Structure 1
């Protein structure tokens, strides 16, 4: 089992429900701009953060979670300038001790490791940018030792087809 990560669904409900039903996971993270009532299913069962297009103040703009051997920093990204650089987000990850950062905002799917920290932007389910299809991601922990955690990241299109150009296997710091 793993964690499902999506972002920038901008009012989509049926498509989000389909994605959620498609995968059996431990947790579901939405990185903001859900743009619907956060108390309605399937959003009510997700770990949400507020994006720049979300109006509710009941949802925080940042969250820190533990899952297995991962410390996950989740944010939308607009408060960290992710469209121009991940540097401020990297500093925040260092401050919080996160080894995984989940973010959205740019609608551009991103996956990579910098100094032992995994950065994942699952892309957008509604309006992809810089990529041909709407995407989301699945993260699984494969192994862990005292020094590192091995994870795999798999991207899918909105219909559940594997997107082989994105994702891979990564070694993270503890």
Structure 2
């Protein structure tokens, strides 16, 4: 399974279109973790599973979504309703309630990946307004039978190698 995860594009459609065009046909899915500030009907959002962030005005986006890719259940939310700037505990409970193996979220604009028990949590950072680093980022998640690879890329699709991590499942 291979997924592209983006977040916090804040009204800019250029980056999310470019990411989609770069990976279309090469990955199993695209996830946008909110604050696109675009309507769900916007052409730039076509092909993305997307959730509503605190800056999104379109009520048709769900607050939380779950989906399954190649037998792996994922959960996506923006994070603002779950206090993600302080703790991942609330998201961990949400993952447990939804039997999710991976949780994707944004809101903080700070990228990161960590595993708590058997659940992988990934924040792809912001593709427009990063915090904590200079790079505008997104994540590429690859899972096989034994491990999950999380790679972070800048908006020019250059891998940020020192941030790549492998997790064992």
TM-score between the two structures when normalised by the length of structure 1: 0.92
In structure 1, what is the Cα distance between the partners aligned to 2:40 and 2:46? 6
> Where does residue 11 of structure 1 map in the other structure?
11
In structure 1, what is the Cα distance between the partners aligned to 2:43 and 2:143? 27
Higher mean C-alpha deviation, range 102-111 or range 162-171: 162-171
> Where does residue 146 of structure 1 map in the other structure?
none
Q: Tell me the matched-pair count.
A: 167
In structure 2, what is the Cα distance between the partners aligned to 1:26 and 1:96? 21
> Where does residue 29 of structure 2 map in the other structure?
27
1:79-104 deviation per Cα after TM superposition (whole angstroms, max 9, x unaligned): 00001111111111111111100000
8 Å contact from structure 1 (residues 116, 171) kept in 2 = no
Gaps of 5+ in 1: 144-148
In structure 2, what is the Cα distance between the partners aligned to 1:26 and 1:42? 18
Gaps of 5+ in 2: none
8 Å contact from structure 1 (residues 111, 167) kept in 2 = no
1:32-57 deviation per Cα after TM superposition (whole angstroms, max 9, x unaligned): 00001221223022101000000011
> Where does residue 152 of structure 1 map in the other structure?
149
> Where does residue 76 of structure 2 map in the other structure?
74
In structure 1, what is the Cα distance between the partners aligned to 2:140 and 2:91? 21
8 Å contact from structure 1 (residues 7, 136) kept in 2 = yes
Aligned residues: CA RMSD: 1.2
Within-5 A mapping of 1:1-174: 2-23=2-23, 24-143=26-145, 150-172=147-169
